[in-house]
Structure 1
Amino acid sequence: MAQRIAIFGAGYIGLVTAACFAELGHTVAVRDIDSDKIAALQAGRIPIFEPGLAELIARNAGRLSFTVDADDAAADAQVVFVCVDTPPTASGDADLSRVWSVVDSMKGAAHLSAFVVKSTVPVGTGARIRAVLDTAGLRHVGYAANPEFTAEGRAVQDFMHPDRVVIGTDDHATAELLAAVHDGIDGPVMAMDVRSAEAVKLMANALLATKISFANEAAAICEATGADVNLVMDAVGADARLGRGFLNAGIGWGGSCFPKDTIGLKALAVNGGYHPQLLSAVIEVNELTRRRAVIRLKEELGTLDGKTVAVLGMTFKPGTDDMRESPATVIVDRLLTEGATVRSWDPMAQPQTTPPWSSTTRCASPLDALTGSDAAMLVTEWPELRDVDWPEAAAAMAAPVLFDGRNLLEPGAMADAGFTYLSVGRATVRG
C-alpha cells in the first residue's frame, strides 16, 4: 500500500531514498535547509552526481516534491525518514545537531505513524529520541532505526537490490509498517531491536575498513618480501570464509562513511571505557597509507622540491563527484608541502577553491595533466585512465614516472610504454 513519506535531508542518502521510494509508488516530500539545493531540485536539476538518480527523479516527478519548510514536508506524511548528515565533532563523536533539529520540528506532528532515523547515529540515540517523542505527547508514533547500506556510485542499485534491509524497532506495528514501505525491494528484511540496528551500520563499515587496511598492510609486507599483493589477495580472497571484496591494496579509504563511522565507533567505545585496539590500528594504517605513497614517489625521484606532479583523480572513488575525505586531498597537501607543483585531473569533481586544491592547476584531460610533468600519481581508479595512450603520455612527460595508487594498470604494459611504474604491493618495473 502506497504511503505518504517525508524525507529530511536532500544529500546522497536522502535523494536516493526519496527517488527509490517514489519508484515504489509512494508519495514523497523532500525537505532540506539549503534553499539553493531545493530550488535546483524544483527546477529539475540534480545537485549531486549519482548514476541513474536523475532519470529516477524525472520518471517519478509526479510523486516527488521539494521544500525548505519542515511543516510543509510533514503536513500529510505518515512516515518521516531522517537522512541528514552526522559529521564527526572535534572529539570524534557524531554531531547529532541536525538530527535533533528534525526531532524538534516534529514535536507537533501528532498525525505521524512512524519516525525513522536512517542517518548513522551512535548506539543509544534512538532511546533518547524515543524519550523526547514521548515527552512531546507522541507516544503513539512508532520509532525505528533503518540504516542505509548504499555505496556512492551504485546507490540506486544498492537501494533497490540490497543485501538486507535492517529495521530496528521495539514495536511490532512499526516493524510491519516499514516492511510494507519497503515492499518491492529485492532483498531480505532483517528486524531487530533499535540498539542492534544502530550498531549494524557502524560495525559493517568498521569491518569493511578493516579489510582495506589489512590489504594495505599486506601490500607493504609484499613490497618488502618481493611478493605480488594482487596475486596474494586473489588467493586469500578465494577462501569462502573471507571473500575477495575490499581486499584491494591501494591508498586507503575515504568518503562520507568510513572515516566518520570508524572514528565515531572508536569514540563510542572510548567513551564507554574500552580502548578498541584493532579499530585504532585500522584507522592508523589508513592514514599512513596515503602518506607512504608520497614517500615512495619522493624516494624514486630523490626529491619532490621543484618537481611537477600530475595527480589523476580527485574524488574519493570513481562514479561520484564526492570529495569528502578523499585520499587525494592528503596526497596533494603532502606534495605541496614537499615543494612540488601539482596539476590535477578528474572527470566529475566540482571546482575546488579551498586549500590545498586552490594551489593546484586543474586540467581538462589526463594528457593535459601529464604533459611536462616529472611524475604522476594515479589516485582514483576512473575507467577513463585505462584508455589513456600511455606511450604518448610517456613521450609528453619530462620524466615518465607513474605511481599507481590503485593498481589499475598492468605493470608490463606500462614498462613497454616507457614508464618507471610504481604500484602498491608489487615490484617496481622500469621501461
Structure 2
Amino acid sequence: MFGDRPDSDGYGGDPLEHLHGGQTEQLNAHEAEQPSNQGVLRISKRVRRRRRTLIFLLVVAVFVAVAFFAFQAVRPMLTGNSDADYPGPGHGTVTFIVPSGATGRTVAEGLVAQGVAASESAVLDALSAAKGNKLIQPGSFGLKLEMKASDAVSVLLAPDNNKVHYAAIAQNLRQPEVLALLATSTGIKESTFTALAETPAKFGLPPAAKSLEGYLAPGEYRFPIEMTAEQILTQLVQATKDTLVKDGVTDPADQYRVLTIGSIIEFEGNEANYALISGAIENRLHNPNAETGGRLESDATVAYGLGLKTYNITDAQKKDASNPYNTFANPGLPVGPIGSPGEKAINAAAHPQANPYYFWVTVNLTTGETLYATTYADHLKNVAKYQAWCDANVGKCR
C-alpha cells in the first residue's frame, strides 16, 4: 500500500516536497510583483535624466547664441575688417592728403584714421566698385567727417577735382631737408630740385647767394599738380622776398644779410626773444672792440658748416677757421643763411631791439628760457645753469 503513488489525487508525492513547492509558488508570486515596481522607478529616473539633459542643452544653446552675437558685435574691433559705413553725407571739413605712391590700402587707412570713413573695408569695396585703385592721384582733397565711403572715393577719383600737391615746410629747415620734402610731396625727383637750387641767379638772388638757402619760405603749400619744380621753387623764393619787402628790406644785398641773421635767430632763440637776440647780434657786429671782438660765437652756425645738428660743439671745431660758417674763429656774419627763417624771425632781424647785451644762452631747451649778459663773466654763470640743466636732463643736450 505504501508502495502505491496515485498520480491524479492526494498529495501525489513527498509531503515535504509538496510543502516546499507551495512556498516556492508564493515566493514566485511575490517576485512576479517586484519587476513591476522597479520598472516604475527606472522609468521615473529616466524621465528625470531626460529633463535634466533638456535643461542643460537649453542652457548651452542660450550661451552659444549669446556668445555668437557678442562676437559679432566685437568682431570689427578685433579684426579691424568691419564692413561698417557711415550713412553720410558727413559734417565739418577735413583736408586729406594722398601722398605720392599711395595704395588703396594706405588711402583706406588714412580715411579711417582721420574720421572720414567708418572702415577700411568699406573704402576698399568702394574703390573696387569704382575700379579706382590704380587711378588715385597724389594731392590734397577737401572731405568731410563721417562720409559714406563711396562718396569719399568719388571725391578722390573725380576727374575735375582741383588736385594739388601738399607740402608743409617747417621754419628753419635746411635746404636739403626742404628739397627732400618737396620731392616726397610732389613726386618730382629730388635731384631736379637740387640742380635748380644750385642756380640761384635764375631766381633773382644776389651774387653772394650760392644756393637757395634762406629763401625757401616755410609754410603750408598746395601746389597744382601741373606745376614744375622750377615754378614751385619760384613760389617759395617769392614768398620770402615778399616778406622782406613788407618789412621794408628791398635791396637784394640787405635782404641776404637779414635772412642770414634771421636764420641764426631762429636757431638761437624763440619767438618771444627774437628781437632781443637780434639786438645782441647787432651789438657784436658793430662793436669789434668789445669782449666779443666782433665775433658772433654761435654754435648753430658752426654746426651748419659741419653738416651737423647739435648743441655740443668741441673746442677744436670752434677753432677751425676753415669752416666758413664758424663764427667763433671768424668775425662777422657767416657766409650765408643756415636755414629758412619764418616771418617773425625775418621781422626781428629787420627791426632789432636795442639792448646792452652781448651774450645769451638758452638754459632750458624745453621751455626755451634764455638768459642774457653784458660781460663774459656773467655769461659763464648763465652757461653753468645750462650745463646743470643738461646734467639733469640726460640726452636732451645733443
Higher strand share: 1
Q: One fold, TM greater than 0.5?
A: no
TM-score where L is the length of structure 1: 0.22
Higher helix share: 2
TM-score where L is the length of structure 2: 0.24
